[in-house]
Amino acid sequence: MKQKTMIIPFLDLKKINEPYENAFQEKLKSVLHNGWYILGKEVETFEKAFAEYSKTKYCIGVGNGFDALVLIFKGYIELGILQKGDEVIVPANTYIASILAVLQADLVPVLVEPRLETYNINPDLIQEKITSKTKAILAVHLYGKLAEMDKINEIAQNHNLIVVEDCAQSHGAKIDKSQNQNSKFQFENNLQSKVYNLKSASAYSFYPGKNLGCLGDGGAVTTNDEELAKVILSLRNYGSEKKYLNDYIGVNSRLDELQAGFLNLKLVNLDSDNQKRREIAKRYLTEIKNDKIELPFWDFSNNHVFHLFVIRTLKREQLQEHLAQNNVQTVIHYPIPPHKQKAFSDWNNLSFPITEKIHEEVLSLPISPVLAEEDVDFIIEILNQY
């Protein structure tokens, strides 16, 4: 085996964006010369394109993915569908931003354990957490894999709950009815409820490292709910639909015109980029053969876009050091579960054993559309040697 003299970065954003450099420069000139820098044609174009891509009626560009979640919840509050103090079911192992968004909207997060196999919320455990105060479920498509939206939507319909989707890591994940019948775990077909439930909404982040990332912060809300879309359009712009007329106590959270221009250039390649991620993931899953490493579950359908490729191991620090010594960068997503964070000191004594196991064992390998095949070869070889 040849030694790697150059580091294999966890994510090479420079290389990902290099093919767009000339187009970015031209887009910058276009926006500059147009003289309209906030909520202009680029944002309008992107909102239409991303709504069409997501198969929803409405897309509202906002400042970032966190704001997208907050504005969805605040929009439902303005419509009287939610009230401050209502409970929202949230996966216990999600990134902390999902929970912070619920709190920012003056709602109460209720944590539910995930399935160990998929890292997504376990629908079978939601029922026992529903009370008279439960009014919504926040489904997070963690690491790029769609949650079991058929089951989640059924629970929501039975209890008259709102469903909100955190799609910050799942850009382009699609329903695939042709599931592999030989799957290790026989779940019902995953459905992303973009068109399934009229009273639902999805939040997206376009942070640079996302599958569809801009060169700064950016986010969007997609929904089929016309009333919610109208409210969020106002809330993102100081609560104003018409200048100097404020209907709500809003915020300033608008997708930047220039970032929207960059996203317009990159959106056309999202599906092909996701397919490259799946090809790498398939190689990892079929060629990594080490009983010390637990590989993620995937049925080889399009319901996973592998924003992250996350393995588990009992001796994570040892494996991470082994990879680092061989110039392979890795990242832990995430080292501390939300209920163990200092910020949530009231939760520190709670027990979520599956969540805690996940956070103690997970390690993310390099995966991106620009990861070279020879680097994939090397990573697999190093892991098999461990």
- Domain assignment present for residue 9? The answer is no
CATH number where 263 lies: 3.40.640.10
Number of structural domains found in the chain: 2
Q: Is 114 helix (H, G, I), strand (E, B) or coil?
A: strand
Q: Which residues constitute the domain of residue 216?
A: 17-112+120-267
Last residue of a domain, one of 239, 267, 295: 267
- Looking at the fold, whether 75 and 126 belong to one and the same domain comes out as yes
Is 185:117 a contact under the CB 8 Å cutoff? yes
Report which DSSP code applies to 215.
S
Is 27:265 a contact under the CB 8 Å cutoff? yes
- Looking at the fold, whether 373 and 300 belong to one and the same domain comes out as yes
3-state secondary structure 338-376: HHHCHHHHHHCCCCCHHHHHHHHHEEEECCCCCCCHHHH
Residue 119 has φ and ψ, to the nearest 5°, of 70, 0
Residue 5, burial from CB neighbour count under 10 angstroms (0-12, 13-18, 19+)? exposed
Between strands 87-91 and 58-62, the pairing is: unpaired
- Looking at the fold, whether 127 and 37 belong to one and the same domain comes out as yes
- Looking at the fold, whether 208 and 282 belong to one and the same domain comes out as no
CATH number where 291 lies: 3.90.1150.10
Tracing tokens 């409405």 back to the chain, one arrives at 58
- Looking at the fold, whether 152 and 204 belong to one and the same domain comes out as yes
- Among candidate residues 269, 267, 271, 251, the one with its CA nearest the CA of residue 259: 267
Tens-of-pLDDT digits for all 386 residues of the chain?
Answer: 666 679 999 999 999 999 999 999 999 999 999 999 999 999 999 999 999 999 999 999 999 999 999 999 999 999 999 999 999 999 999 999 999 999 999 999 999 999 999 999 999 999 999 999 999 999 999 999 999 999 999 999 999 999 999 999 999 999 765 443 333 333 333 334 333 445 689 999 999 999 999 999 999 999 999 999 999 999 999 999 898 999 999 999 999 999 999 999 999 999 999 999 999 999 999 999 999 999 999 999 999 999 999 999 999 999 999 999 999 999 999 999 999 999 999 999 999 999 999 999 999 999 999 999 999 999 999 999 99
Tracing tokens 């399935």 back to the chain, one arrives at 115
- Looking at the fold, whether 274 and 230 belong to one and the same domain comes out as no
**Buried b vs exposed e over 330-366: b needs ≥16 C-beta within 10 Å?**
bbbbbeebbbbeeebeebeeeebebbbebbebbbbbb
What totals of helices (H) and strands (E) does the chain contain, helices first? 12, 11
- Domain assignment present for residue 3? The answer is no
Residue 32, burial from CB neighbour count under 10 angstroms (0-12, 13-18, 19+)? exposed
Is 162:156 a contact under the CB 8 Å cutoff? yes
- Looking at the fold, whether 259 and 347 belong to one and the same domain comes out as no
Alpha-carbon distances, residue 330 vs 139, 313, 363, 367 (angstroms): 26, 13, 7, 10
- Looking at the fold, whether 71 and 130 belong to one and the same domain comes out as yes
Rounded to whole angstroms, how far apart are CA atoms 280 and 298? Answer: 13
* The model's pTM: 0.94
- Domain assignment present for residue 308? The answer is yes
Point out the residues that are catalytic. 210
- Looking at the fold, whether 31 and 108 belong to one and the same domain comes out as yes
- Domain assignment present for residue 5? The answer is no
- Domain assignment present for residue 1? The answer is no
- Domain assignment present for residue 12? The answer is no
pLDDT of residue 1: 61
| Residue 223 host element (H or E) | strand 219-223
Is 245:47 a contact under the CB 8 Å cutoff? no
- Looking at the fold, whether 314 and 369 belong to one and the same domain comes out as yes
Is 50:220 a contact under the CB 8 Å cutoff? yes
- Domain assignment present for residue 27? The answer is yes
- Looking at the fold, whether 60 and 165 belong to one and the same domain comes out as yes
- Domain assignment present for residue 4? The answer is no
Q: Write the CB contacts of 132 (distance below 8 Å, at least 6 apart in sequence).
A: none
Last residue of a domain, one of 217, 241, 267: 267
Residue 104, both tokens? 């920012």
Last residue of a domain, one of 237, 267, 297: 267
- Looking at the fold, whether 48 and 80 belong to one and the same domain comes out as yes
| Residue 377 host element (H or E) | helix 373-385
